[in-house]
A and B are shown apart, each in its own frame.
Chain A
Amino acid sequence: MDATSRDFKSNAFDARRDPHLQDALARLGHGFPLKRLEAAARLPEFEALRDRAREIKNHVLDNLDFYLERFEERVTEQGGKVHWCTDAQAAREKILEICRSVDAKTITKSKSMIGEEIAINDFLEEHGVDPIETDLGEYIIQLRREPPSHIIAPAIHLTMGQVEETFRKSHDDLPAERPLDEPRKLLEEARDKLRDKFLGADVGLTGANMLIAETGSNVLVTNEGNADLTYSLPKVHIVIASLEKIVPTLEDATSILRVLARSATGQDMSVYTTFCSGPRRAEDLDGPDEYHVVLLDNGRSELIGSEFHEMLRCIRCGACLNHCPVYRTVGGHAYGWVYSGPMGAVLIPGLIGIDEAGHLPNASTLCGRCESVCPMRIPLPRMLRAWRRRQYRRESSSGPGRLALRAWAWLAQRPALYHLFTNLSIAALGAWGRRRGAFRRLPFAQGWTGSRDFAAPAGDTFMAQWKKGPRGDASGEWLRKRRS
């Protein structure tokens, strides 16, 4: 998809004035965090599990080549094939090539953020293959030709009424009198449509929540069971995954599963958890004839060893989105690409470039709530700062914001001048505004006073008043003066 991250500010402005979106965000912002807390409270070892999950991924990232090769060996032994793709274009072409090798007309697809990242749907459509999203949320946004607004709840920005409208517009054979005014009825309508697609698909494309080196398996986690119909009914199963999804063993995978759903939705476990290992064996009752894993790098190996290394621990649970006050104010689409929230603000500049996504690491108060809930303990604020540092080094030292900041920093390194200058300006500002307590407008401060009054300084600075008082007794002096 074309990124609109450059337009983050105007995207965010519009999002703030979209009442449907604001309703949805209010529900999400209260619901998911509460459920996560309850789930964590039910599991006394939750914090220890987070440490364990972090250690597993740290170990993997230090030995990534070893585990990826081991994974490939196991997949090959089981009759599957691993395709190494350095970038999005290579991955798209490989998927198309596999589709063409079986003369595929339609493919079913379960939810995959990598699929979004490489914009596989548009590419397949352009080349005559019809991709059908089978996750309900993804199906809805596919009909609307929108990107997901949340990594685990892609259609969270829509109301039921908007979904009904979408179905009525897209499903030609839907009788106008059939009611679609309840979630259940919307689900049934989507299910009716999707059932035939599942049965008719030539290829099933899924993502992977993890890849397991020990067994050559991919792990699929859903609440709808759609991934299971996607991979098991067609003749060909293609897994698309980025290379940091690898974990060493089954036991490691289950450790991470224990923090995944709890962090994401507050469920102890997602409804369906599936381990797929290669194509159908002679003794299997069902399963695909071909099993392909398209392994995507797309810039990730360059993050190894960089200040963004730890971002590769991310398991895409969405907890940082659910808890982010900025995400909860503007929603996912404002970020302008497939990822959003704090993880998106770190990842997107790495994948599409800091020039394109320069706003994202800056549009944060660095409040730290993301890091505090991240199951993999990724230091997201530190990485947002790391992007700012890179930007600072690249940009020329012009622009009014930069100049003001540099002037302040220059002054702060010269205490005597600093105190002289601050006391003079503060005394003047205080004399001007003290009587009314606050300014409604201030020159050069529209960013603040556009929506907030600016508290007037009380008078002389603390340092100036402290100096006036007898040493050690200044507070008493100040108090006497204040109370007289």
Chain B
Amino acid sequence: MQEDISQGDHGGDAGGRPRVGLFVTCLVDLMRPSVGFATVELLERAGCRVEVPEAQTCCGQPAFNSGDDADTAAIAKNTIAALEGFDYVVAPSGSCAGMLKMHYPEVFADDPDWHPRATAFAAKVHELTAFLADVMSLQDTPPAFETTATYHDSCSGLRELGIKAAPRRLLGRVAGLTLNEGEEAETCCGFGGLFCVKYSDISTGMVDAKLDDLEKTGADMVLGGDLGCLMNIAGRLRRRGSAMEARHVAEVLAGYTDVPAIAQPPGGGPANEDAS
């Protein structure tokens, strides 16, 4: 999705840097803070001033996808109020950014007070890689990283926000990184939020098909822009005893590759050990 670079107020602070409100997303906040710090570092490298309002929580997608309108609206109002004052709102997730950008206006379709606010808010929201590549035209050189990787296109980012080229363009500048495309890169991994626990057996079939395709690429590592999918993929990779690692694209772009890969122990300990 091409963005108009002139949109928004770039004169956010005295240094002319745009003010970016980071929507860290609940999964990154809880499960993998390194993605959040990588995101901050990348945004700062792109010339933004980053703030993280404490009033943010979850985007409300679990409630939205369960048909719980009242809770969705209440959570959405909280998110909008916390972040609408920034020039841009950036999330390291296509799924959560899709919720904020595409679904918040839908949630308030019949609310004359909140619909305009949700629409104005939605215009400021960006997924991280699309923001870096398309809005900020990030040109600097990320740290080198010797690996063969493959990219999993998360469904919401790909089909709600049109994110396909942006992460690949950014990764193309990482010296030493080779990207092998999977034939089924655009096929769902079977995560789907609550779907993966409610329909666990079907979800397992889907993630197995995904893993087969990832492994066919010969890559050592799968990268993606959504922690939900990556936790699903990494969890199944480890259960299958696969050597393939999973990481969020922001960690590679920011050079945070010494953090253990998702679902891996510190210092690359033995895989597939019983941790319970």
Contact = CB atoms under 8 A, between A and B. Distances in A.
Interface stretch (B117-125, B135-143, B266-274): B266-274
A445 B275 CA distance: 14
A411 interface: yes
B224 to A, nearest CB: 14
B231 interface: yes
Contacts of B203: 365, 451
B156 A368 contact: yes
- B57, B188, B194, B234: residue with the most chain A Cβ atoms closer than 10 Å: B57
Interface string A407-422: 0111111011011001
B110 interface: no
Contacts of A440: 239, 272-276
B207 interface: yes
A460 to B, nearest CB: 7
A430 to B, nearest CB: 9
Given A16-B202, A325-B187, A475-B41, A436 B269 contact: yes
A438 B264 contact: yes
Interface string A1-18: 000000001001100100
Nearest to B188: A367
Interface string A368-411: 11011000000000000101111111000000010001101111
Nearest to B79: A412
B197 A364 contact: no
A330 interface: yes
B177 to A, nearest CB: 21
Nearest to B78: A413
A46 interface: no
A465 interface: yes
B195 A448 contact: no
Nearest to A441: B276
Interface of B: 24, 26, 28-34, 36-37, 40-41, 44, 49, 51-52, 54-58, 60, 62-69, 71-72, 74-75, 78, 82, 155-156, 159-160, 186-188, 190-207, 209, 231-232, 234-236, 238-239, 259-260, 262-266, 269, 272-276
10 contacts: A362-B198, A367-B159, A367-B192, A371-B159, A385-B65, A406-B68, A412-B60, A437-B263, A451-B236, A463-B29
Interface of A: 9, 12-13, 16, 325-326, 328-330, 362-369, 371-372, 385, 387-393, 401, 405-406, 408-413, 415-416, 418-419, 422, 426, 433-442, 445-448, 450-463, 465-467, 472, 474-475, 478-479, 482
